[in-house]
């Protein structure tokens, strides 16, 4: 058996599943962790932002009569 190339011998690389798309991705050295990519991170953050910053709607009831 020959050692796999790229094996740093640092044990098992920590992998996580992207909470956005569920894709298995590395955690260490991943700038977008725990996401798999910048896209997933932005999407998720954007989603949170939308939920957080709820825009108050001027729900003015229709005027009755004339």
By CB under 5 A, residue 40 contacts Zn ion = yes
By CB under 5 A, residue 20 contacts Zn ion = yes
By CB under 5 A, residue 38 contacts Zn ion = no
By CB under 5 A, residue 41 contacts Zn ion = no
Taking CB under 5 A as the criterion, the residue among 23, 28, 42, 48 binding Zn ion is 23
Please name the helix (run of DSSP H) or strand (run of DSSP E) that holds residue 17, with its range, or none.
Answer: strand 15-17
Residues 6 or more apart in contact with residue 50 via CB below 8 angstroms: none
Q: Which residues form the interface with Zn ion (CB under 5 A)?
A: 18, 20-21, 23, 36, 40
């Amino acid at each position: 058996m020959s050692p796999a190339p790229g094996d740093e011998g640092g044990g098992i690389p920590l992998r996580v599943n992207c909470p956005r798309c569920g894709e298995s991705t590395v955690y260490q050295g991943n700038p977008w962790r725990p996401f798999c990519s910048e896209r997933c991170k932005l999407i998720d953050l954007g989603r949170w932002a939308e939920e957080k910053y709820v825009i108050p709607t001027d729900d003015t009831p229709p005027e009755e009569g004339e």
